[in-house]
Structure 1
Amino acid sequence: MRLHSLRVTAFGPFGAPQRVDFDALNAAGLFLLHGPTGAGKTSVLDAVCFALYGSVPGVRDGRGLTLRSDHAAPGVPTEVVLDLTVGGRRLEITRRPAQLRPKKGNRAGFITDKAQSWLRERDPGTGQWQALSRSHREIGEEITQLVGMNREQFCQVVLLPQGDFARFLRADAEARGKLLGKLFDTRRFAAVEERLAELRRTAEQQVKQGDDRLLALAERTAEAAGPAARDLPRPEQRPGDPGLAAAVLAWAAVARSGAVERRDLAACAVTAADGRRAAARHVLEEQRELLRLQERYAETRRRAAALDERRAQFEDLCARQDLARAADRVAPALTLRDTAEREHRDAARLYEQARTRLPASLADAGADQLAERERGIRQELGGLDAARRAERRSAEIAAERAALDREARADEDVRQDAEDWLAGWDTVRQRLQERIETAQAAATRAGQLESQLAPAAARLAAARRRDALGRQSDGADRHLRDTRDAAGDARQHWLDLRERRLSGIAAELAAGLREGEACKVCGATAHPAPARAGAGHVDRDAEQRAEDAYGRADEARAQAESALSQLRQDHAAARAEAGDASVEELAALEGELRRDHADAHAGAGDMHAAREELARAEQEHARRLDAREQADRRSAARTSHREAIERELAVIEEELTRARGSAGSVEEQFATLTRRAALLAEAAQAVRAYEDTAERLKSADGALADAAFRAGFATPGDAARALLDHREQNALQDRIDAWQAERAAVAERLRETDAAEAAAGPAAVPGRAQAALDAAERVQRDATSAYDAARDRCAALARLGRQAEEEARRLGPLRADYERVARLAGLAAGTSADNERKMRLESYVLAARLEQVAAAATTRLHRMSAGRYTLVHSDERSGGTGSRRAGLGLHVVDSWTGRERDTSTLSGGETFFASLALALGLADVVTDEAGGVRLDTLFIDEGFGSLDDATLDEVIDVLDALRERNRSVGIVSHVGDLRRRIPVQLEVLKGRSGSTVRRRGAEG
């Protein structure tokens, strides 16, 4: 990757557009980027990183408004344009972060533009630029793929921050592991460790769950076995123990054996109880049969005695049956006479009733005379039919006249109501039209006020932010002064301690001397007068603590400066948007606008209702006009109809007057004649019936007397008393048949010999036999219940045994998987006995990478230190606790003493060139890891001030050697001696209107 040019506008400290020509700097191979503190040297590197990845390195990462220069004019956008060649392609990347800009037109305030990106590629044939993408995601993926590194790797490999590598040298294994893990992306190996641990936990959980199920089956087996398992000791293994399954299966087999033995004993007891119960049942059946025969014989004797007592009654029944059969021959005559008598009584009653309703002149009239009078009245009724129809028509005409009167009154009400409503129509229409116009005007005003309300609210919010940010800026300014003072005090304290430690360094070195061992300084083995630590001696730990305190204080100062800068930028933006008006003034203006807008909006809301009401009123107006017109047409039609029915009514009244006679109406006259005709017809029929029934009764009396004499009865009354109906005769026959059947049955049973013999023997005693049977059945039930329980217990144990065996078979592969996964997880996590160095998988991979880095760094460190120092990788733990990593140790071998020591023992200058060598070696390894992408431009940031002249020459020679194969190196430093040693320079100058860049040296 080679950088060609960089253009920045309104970025960081650069207010005006600036251009860096990297092609001219790369031609020299080694160039210096310098300038006073705060001028913006690091901002040039930030711009390169921002162009590539859309964000700046480390704590300076700013994806929002913090990248914008405070010196830039409001309308100038913040922009970074980088021209580079990577992967054989010439690309141009343009980035604009999210930033505030003034609103267009004459509107006050600011709006936030979203972040934008452009990617273009130069066609090598035509030399023209072609647009590739404007998507942040697509550009980021394309650059990451071409460069082969993410942002963190790029900042660590290309921008070479020396402070980070100095800390890397002194760091423990955990800190080294975190940095190396980010650079070499060993997350997949950590993911393997986590996956194996997760698989181990899952397999362990499955094994424990299977063991829990086995133990649950053991508990169920113990419950099912009952007494058979009461004295058996339970398995002692716990869930997860290897021998749990075998122990449970063995214990269950013993329990099943005991249960089977108890079941066999119970089966023998059931067989014996069945034999005793069968014998007792046979005895009980013999006693019950003897009792039955004895009771049967006794019952037969009782029934024979009862028959003898009822013999006279049987003979009376036979005589009564003979009389009833004789009376049956007289029954038809009796029935005929009763029927004739009943009909004659009914006819006589109707005849008397009819005579009471007839006029006195017709009380003794015969049937023919009454029928003649009925025919005369019927003829008179026929003449009244036409008059009845005329009378009904007269009633219909009266109803029509009443209906016409009601319709006339209703139409008059409709006409009057329409007239009254139409009289006020013009006033109603004008009122509704004025209401609509008022609502339209309110809607127009509401729209105008709404356009003013949003800017007013925005200005009010900006004013509140302005005042709040102003107060915060004052507090942040005070906090910044405090942190600056604290950082200065901490730095002075650190420098004082360092000076005191250097003054007493001889005593510190003497403390490490051992008799017979070579001195690390002079090499002598005799130490006649070692230096002694004086009062107030400062050791390395105290100096380190002071340096760490200074680092924290300086970091707090930098954070305070960044916070204050952000607050000032936000305050300026809020002040530009709000203006100089106070919050109270803007709040009053905004409240007045809101009230006016609410009133106008409420007035505009009435427009729809007013329009709907006008539409309804217009519909009502049309309806009222139509109703008045319809009422006038119906009134004219009613007048002609009324005249026609009046004429028809006059003709009908003349006809009715003649037909009514003395009655109130024709219908009344018709009803009177109809009743008279019906009364005469009924009376004539009653006279005829009375005469006919009297004749039939007389004939029936004669026939009855003749039938009774022939049947042998003295009088018809005797025959009637002897007569029985069919039901009574059947009952009499049933009683006779029952006595005869009883007599035959008793005779048959008296001939039975077995009952007589049983009666002659001793009395039966079934109670004792029943008691013996009950006792035998209780014993048999208890034995059967015990056997069933034992059999069910054996079945349940067999079923549980099969389940336990199935569970054990299923658990076998799970346990084997768990042991295999647990062995692998322990090996990867460094907890297994097979892992001799207790090194995690990720640490193992990182150790290999660190070994490569140490080898690459040693090549340059050996030259910088004049062959004295060599970096080596160590597999030993970096500490004694289990929380320390193994395999990430880093030592330095001093060829002057021949000893290997920790890198934290290096001095300040030694630490710098060791960390520089480490950074360059790490860059080579990361580059190879990223796919061998060639890095033609490198930047080294600070750290040269701690070197003496000779060491600085060595370092410059090493860096100058990096120019081989057309590679360029940029050194970022403010060390004055470097300006004389490196002729090609990029100088950053700061001023009140912002920083500028200037190239010096060569043709520049």
Structure 2
Amino acid sequence: MKPITLTLCGWGPFRDKQTVDFTKVSEKGIFLITGQTGAGKTTIFDGITYALYGSMSGEIREKNSVRSDFADADTPTYAELTMMHNGLLYQIYRNPEYMRPKKRKNGGQAMTKEREKAVLTLPDGSVMEGSGEVTRKIQEILRLDYRQFKQISMIAQGEFARLLTASPGEKTRIFREIFDTALYDRFASVLRDEANTLYKEVMEYRHRMDEDVRQFHTEDEIWKELTSGETHPYEQLMDRLEVLEKDCRREEKKAARRLEKLDQEMVELEKRIQQAETDQKAFQKLRETKARLEALKGQSGDMAQKEERLKRGEHAAEIRAEYQQVNGVEKQLYALERQEKEEEEAIRREVALVQECSGIYEKRDLLLAYYDLSQSMEELEKRKAAGLNRQKQLEKKLLCHQQDYLEQEKRTADRQHELTEAQSRYRRAVIGLAARLVEEGKPCPVCGSLEHPHVAGTGEDVPDEEQLNRLQETYDQSAARLTALHGQAAAARAEAEGQAEQNRQLADEENVLLEKKGSFSEELVSFASIHNREEVREQAERYTGLIKGLEVRRQNKERLSADKARLEKELAAARESWEKALEKGGFAGLEAYQEAVLEETDRKNLSEAIARYRLELGSAAELCSHMEEELKGKEETDTAPFLDKRNSLLEEKKREESMRTRWSIGASDAARTYGLLKEKKKDMEKKEKAYGIIRDLDNMASGNNAKKLVFEQYVLAGYFEDILEAANLRLRRMTGGRYELSRVEEAGDGRSKDSLEIRVMDYYTGKYRSVKTLSGGESFKASLALALGMSDVIQAESGGIRVEALFIDEGFGALDTESLDQACGALMGLVESDRMIGIISHVPELQERIASQIYIEKKNTGSHVR
């Protein structure tokens, strides 16, 4: 990057617009930026770094504090840089966020905030905006970020003098930031953490295997001896577990054979116990059956009384129909008399209600018409409210569609711009591709000329046909979306206008209904406010119903009177038939009949009880006879001895099962423990192997090596020696070959150090000496050489990027005349046809030696550039 012009306005010490034209001072490659202290010399480099990256060069400078105190209210604050890079011209405009007075006619002092802005104009004329976007594009063009640009292009005041005498630890921190070697320290930390993790995993496997050993319980003396130490011999323990498993399986089989013999004895014993218990139950059942037979015989007298009671109940049932006929007619007659009285009372009540409902019945038609009109007006009000609400929603919807259309219109324009720009780059690239066919001395494939003074390049960031097709497709989709949104907006507008017309029609309809409502009398309106529609309808319907019901009730009363006369005749005939039936059934009167009456269920239950008694009596007698025949010649056997023998066998069987289970568990535990140890031992050995590899790498990276040097220090030492080698190329020239810088590798006692301490070889004495013994001028030379050497190394580490502009800030005041000549000579050696060096200094001797100068003039109204 080579600056062409830099414009600063309202910036720091510069009150108004000041432009630095670098083309006027860079012809000889080296120029001086000079002026009084505080005039704003370093501000020139600040402006360049801010324009490129939106950041300042100084450690304590902030981009939001650069607004000039000298600037007028209407003077903007910005930096504008025109630069040349790889033969192409770029222009960058930036302004920071700052507070400025508002422009008010009344002279007020209110403040307003000017927002941060960045604009990049590319060589093809295209424009990119946005602070972050511009910064990323500059990093892409220059292939340097802000930190790298500052380190390569700016030798800051006093920074490398401090680096020259800084402690090794301080140098480590500085170089770590410059060369980003914290990666190697993090790598060593990762190795250390991985080694610790693997060690913990190995120990965890050992702990888990030890826990498996502790959880295996056995009385085996060999096992106890093997596990008595602090560490366990896992191979021997696994061998012993195999032996213990075999022993346990052998004992388990012996116990199983003994249990089989006991089971056979138990089967024979159970057969004898079962036969004895069967005989005991049969004798017991015979005794119970005999006792039951005797009890049944004792119930014979009671059964005779039940048979007599059943006989009288059956006679009463035979004449029950005549008795029920008399009761039925009496109940019907009583019910008719009660209904007749109820009808008379109901007729009196309904006559009074007819008189009460007649008033509303006469006005019913007018009232219902008034209610219909009121309901129509209420419904119209709801429709009006819904229409107004609908109209608001449609207007809001129309606004949303309009906003969507405007946003899509902007996006479509952006897509069209991207497509046009890509097509332009593609067309230019086609020309560049054709230019590749041009060969010196041969005719041009386009124009036929044998001379080719200006061959076109292909350019950068050239799209291919697939990218152009994708951009065209994106633009077509965006345009289609814009057309769809236009249709939606038009439809929404039509819908909103239609709803507004409906709302106007509803208002006209409301006026018509109001005129109709005014035609009703105040008396009717007042009556309608007391009674609602439902009450009027109910009263009218009630009046009509009462009239009809009253006629029906009068007819019912006449019918009831006729039925009453008929039932009185039927009752007399029924009573005569009942008297004859009592005499025929042998009953002295109604009381005797009622005592004999039994319900059908009671007669059935009584009959079944008598039959069941006779059946049970015969069955018990027959069963006793049969059982006595079966048990003839048998005796009851005591089962106690058999049960004692069974208990004894069960105890013995329980002991044998316990032994078999014990041996089985012992064998399973041994097999399980063996499997656990085998699996974990295999995994542990894998972890131990991995741990051995990582542990060796960790030892090398963390300094446990022959040189006692950690990984990051080893890398930094390599960078440092490259820097010193590059620095000595300038230092030898600036000191007439007297001094040469080198790295201190070991202390006097042979111990390794941090490897970043500097010593100087004085060829006048042929001895090494500390850099702290150098004079002020010698220290500056060494610092300048170190800075230039570091710049060379950083360039190399940044992919061979060339520094086309280098700024050196102060430090020349400590040099004598000869040293100043040597320093200037060394700097002139850096100058090439396409490289410029700017020295920021107020030293008068430099003003005499360097003809090309940018002078910053300091005044009480702000600084000026010439």
Which of 235, 240, 265 matches 1:254?
240
Counterpart contact for 1:344–1:694, Cα < 8 Å = no
Is 1:818 matched up with 2:691? yes
Distance 1:354 1:976 in 2: 151
Aligned to 1:18: 18
Alignment CA distance shift 1:905-1:216 (3 Å): farther
Which of 707, 710, 718 matches 1:837?
707
Is 1:735 matched up with 2:617? yes
Alignment CA distance shift 1:962-1:286 (3 Å): closer
Distance 1:76 1:301 in 2: 132
The amino acid that maps onto 2:117 is Q
Aligned to 1:102: 101
Distance 2:276 2:328 in 1: 81
Alignment CA distance shift 1:173-1:693 (3 Å): same
CA shift at 1:26, angstroms? 0.9
Secondary structure in structure 1 of the residue aligned to 2:19: strand
Is 1:679 matched up with 2:561? no
Where in structure 2 are the equivalents of 1:189-228 lying within 5 Å? Answer: 189-219=184-214, 221-222=215-216
Alignment CA distance shift 1:986-1:747 (3 Å): closer
Distance 1:390 1:771 in 2: 95
Alignment CA distance shift 1:254-1:52 (3 Å): same
Secondary structure in structure 2 of the residue aligned to 1:12: coil
Distance 1:622 1:923 in 2: 98
Distance 1:667 1:269 in 2: 102
Which of 150, 153, 157 matches 1:158?
153
Aligned to 1:175: 170
Where in structure 2 are the equivalents of 1:279-678 lying within 5 Å? Answer: 343=318, 347=322, 399-405=353-359, 631=524, 671-678=560-567
Aligned to 1:455: none
Distance 2:823 2:738 in 1: 14
Aligned to 1:995: 863
Aligned to 1:482: none
Alignment CA distance shift 1:58-1:625 (3 Å): same
Aligned to 2:27: 27
Number of matched residues?
A: 684
CA shift at 1:675, angstroms? 2.0
1:531-580, Cα deviation, whole Å (9 max, x unpaired)? xxxxxxxxxxxxxxxxxxxxxxxxxxxxxxxxxxxxxxxxxxxxxxxxxx
Aligned to 1:236: 230
Distance 1:909 1:622 in 2: 111
1:763-815, Cα deviation, whole Å (9 max, x unpaired)? x7754554454344323313312321331343244234323333333344333
1:425-466, Cα deviation, whole Å (9 max, x unpaired)? xxxxxxxxxxxxxxxxxxxxxxxxxxxxxxxxxxxxxxxxxx
Alignment CA distance shift 1:691-1:77 (3 Å): same
The amino acid that maps onto 1:935 is V
Unaligned runs of 5+ in 1: 124-129, 238-243, 359-384, 416-617, 657-663, 699-723, 999-1004
Distance 1:298 1:671 in 2: 78
Distance 2:343 2:276 in 1: 101
Aligned to 1:367: none
Aligned to 1:589: none
Counterpart contact for 1:343–1:693, Cα < 8 Å = no
The alignment's TM-score, normalised by the length of structure 1, stands at: 0.58
Distance 1:226 1:877 in 2: 63
Secondary structure in structure 2 of the residue aligned to 1:59: coil
Alignment CA distance shift 1:767-1:270 (3 Å): farther
Unaligned runs of 5+ in 2: 334-339, 370-510, 529-534, 588-605
Secondary structure in structure 2 of the residue aligned to 1:144: helix
Is 1:848 matched up with 2:718? yes
CA shift at 1:22, angstroms? 1.3
Distance 1:397 1:765 in 2: 98
Q: Percent identity?
A: 25
Which of 138, 146, 153 matches 1:143?
138
Aligned to 1:794: 667
The amino acid that maps onto 2:170 is A
The amino acid that maps onto 1:865 is T
Alignment CA distance shift 1:191-1:270 (3 Å): same
The amino acid that maps onto 2:136 is E
Is 1:132 matched up with 2:94? no
Distance 1:630 1:282 in 2: 113
Counterpart contact for 1:280–1:769, Cα < 8 Å = no
Aligned to 1:923: 791
Aligned to 1:554: none
The amino acid that maps onto 1:39 is A
Aligned to 1:867: 737
The amino acid that maps onto 1:405 is G
1:865-898, Cα deviation, whole Å (9 max, x unpaired)? 111111224444899999x63x434332221222
Counterpart contact for 2:325–2:574, Cα < 8 Å = no
Secondary structure in structure 2 of the residue aligned to 1:31: strand
Distance 2:822 2:327 in 1: 165
RMSD: 5.5
Aligned to 1:559: none
Counterpart contact for 1:190–1:842, Cα < 8 Å = yes
Counterpart contact for 1:870–1:894, Cα < 8 Å = yes
CA shift at 1:53, angstroms? 1.8
Which has the higher mean CA deviation after the structures are superposed, 836-845 or 856-865? 836-845
Aligned to 1:6: 6
The amino acid that maps onto 1:52 is L
> Which structure is larger by alpha-carbon Rg, 1 or 2?
1
Secondary structure in structure 1 of the residue aligned to 2:759: strand
Distance 2:195 2:756 in 1: 26
Alignment CA distance shift 1:43-1:668 (3 Å): closer
Counterpart contact for 1:287–1:765, Cα < 8 Å = no
Distance 1:628 1:235 in 2: 119
Aligned to 1:381: none
Aligned to 1:480: none
Counterpart contact for 1:15–1:993, Cα < 8 Å = yes
Counterpart contact for 2:119–2:129, Cα < 8 Å = yes
Distance 2:672 2:140 in 1: 64
The amino acid that maps onto 2:617 is R
Counterpart contact for 1:266–1:783, Cα < 8 Å = no
Which of 775, 778, 802 matches 1:907?
775
Which of 827, 850, 862 matches 1:959?
827
CA shift at 1:249, angstroms? 5.9
1:957-992, Cα deviation, whole Å (9 max, x unpaired)? 222222244533222222222233333322222111
Aligned to 2:38: 38
Distance 2:264 2:240 in 1: 37
Secondary structure in structure 2 of the residue aligned to 1:802: helix
Which of 826, 833, 857 matches 2:727?
857
Counterpart contact for 1:225–1:256, Cα < 8 Å = no
1:28-51, Cα deviation, whole Å (9 max, x unpaired)? 333222222222222222222222
The alignment's TM-score, normalised by the length of structure 2, stands at: 0.66
Distance 1:22 1:113 in 2: 29
CA shift at 1:137, angstroms? 2.1
Distance 2:863 2:288 in 1: 146
Alignment CA distance shift 1:928-1:270 (3 Å): closer
Secondary structure in structure 2 of the residue aligned to 1:405: helix
Counterpart contact for 1:344–1:690, Cα < 8 Å = no
Distance 2:327 2:676 in 1: 105
Distance 1:628 1:910 in 2: 121
CA shift at 1:917, angstroms? 1.0
Aligned to 1:68: 67
Secondary structure in structure 2 of the residue aligned to 1:986: strand
Distance 1:866 1:916 in 2: 15
Which has the higher mean CA deviation after the structures are superposed, 96-105 or 734-743? 734-743
Counterpart contact for 1:82–1:92, Cα < 8 Å = yes
